[in-house]
Amino acid sequence: MNVYQIAMVATLLPPAALGEVVGHRRIYLGGLLLFTLASLFCANAWSLPSLLTARVLQGLGAGGIMSVNTALVRFIYPGRLQGRSFGHNALVVATAFTLGPTIASGILAIGSWAWLFAVNIPFGVVAILVGLETLPRTPRATHAFDFPGALMAAGCLGLFILGIGSAAHHAQPGLISIELASAALLGWVLIRRQADSPAPVLPIDLFRKPIFALSTATAISSFAVQGLAFVSLPFYFEDILGRSQVETGFFMTPWPLVVAIMAPIAGRLSDRYPAGILGGLGLALLSVGMVLLAMLPQNPHVVDIVWRMAICGCGFGFFQAPNMKALMSSAPADRSGSASGMVATARLTGRTIGAALAALCFGLVGREGATLALVLGAVFAASGCGMSVLRLVASPQSGAAGESTG
């Protein structure tokens, strides 16, 4: 899991920047091909080292797919339907997130672990064939791709995620400090090196736009909430409430299921109302839901759990599509790749931070760590709500770029 996560996060920004030069379509299809071949490699792994190698390649492929996914969505839909497009995208993600664990359980009930990877192969082949026919050819930039900058960006993000993971696994403080300090040093050198670049791999030019910066920070906060909840709640349901794994899976389902319902609705609304309002309302509701989960009675009824999880899903789903639209539309069309890379980076960074903080909560207070993690999640959601509302007073010009894309 770790090598896959690190490889994927480390390679989100470089392929996104490369997509602006060679075309997002090529990056997406290349990522799909690598992911599919690596899945075949995983399914036929003959040892742990071979499986780790295959998982690294799979992570690189996933990074290529995720890095330009949002950019392609932006070019597929006309500007007036951008909110709806991101709502549809969030619907697909939430639906897959809901069905994935159930499908995996079904596979393991009748086959070995290798089939968890082999099942990707036919889907990957079909996706490649469909992509060849339907994915748009996007405009290409004239500037050259910065390979040294790409390597530094990958090293910076990879070491940062590695450091957070090491902290979550209670590694030696010296090792954690070296990993995080190295990430900070690489980031500092990269920013200095690309200060005057028209299209830096780490998109510091886009962070000068208030709406882009606030939308990215809001996304990290919201996905940190999801990471905190999805790591801590299974332990709470099984260890404290004594529920079975099947029941725990059932309890976790309402969140992504309601996200899938709310995302298209919020996407349509974001074409008419500001993301600051919609995102703020969604994250306020998510914060309330996390507080309600933290206040569960000692022996809650099934309904007590389900309606609280549904509130969290409703809030998260109401936030996601409007925030994605605000982040992408605040970037010029020729910087869509870098903006798309930041969407994926914010998502995975937030989840990783949330998971690490959940582990820290259990390390500090033991069995009560789940409750502490939920309270911390409520704080993150409230902070995100505040940042979302701040977008209402940000310069309106900073969010106008790219609205006519498509």
Instruction: Write the CATH number for 189.
Output: 1.20.1250.20
Is residue 405 in a domain? no
Is residue 150 in a domain? yes
With a pLDDT cut of 70, the percent of the chain lying above it is 97
Residues 6+ apart with CB under 8 A from 100: none
Is residue 352 in a domain? yes
Alpha-helical (H) ranges within 330-398 are 336-365, 369-390
Is residue 406 in a domain? no
Residue count of the chain: 406
DSSP 89-115: HHHHHHHHHHHHHHHHHHHHHHS-THH
Burial code (b: 16+ CB inside 10 Å, e: under 16) for 47-70 equals eeeebebbbbbbbbbbbbbbbbbb
pLDDT at residue 202, as a whole number: 85
Is residue 259 in a domain? yes
Task: Work out how many domains the chain is built from and give that number.
Answer: 1
Is residue 134 in a domain? yes
Is residue 254 in a domain? yes
- Name the E strands within 227-359: none
Report the alpha-carbon distance of residue 35 to residue 53 in Å, rounded: 13
Is residue 315 in a domain? yes
Report the alpha-carbon distance of residue 164 to residue 170 in Å, rounded: 10
pLDDT at residue 282, as a whole number: 93
Residues of the chain with pLDDT under 50: 396-406
pLDDT at residue 281, as a whole number: 93
pLDDT by residue (tens digit) across 6-51? 888 888 888 988 888 888 999 999 999 999 999 999 999 999 999 9
Range(s) of the domain holding residue 253: 2-399
- Two structure tokens written together for 19: 């997509």
Report the alpha-carbon distance of residue 151 to residue 140 in Å, rounded: 21
pLDDT at residue 44, as a whole number: 93
Residues 6+ apart with CB under 8 A from 251: 233, 237, 243, 302, 305, 306, 309
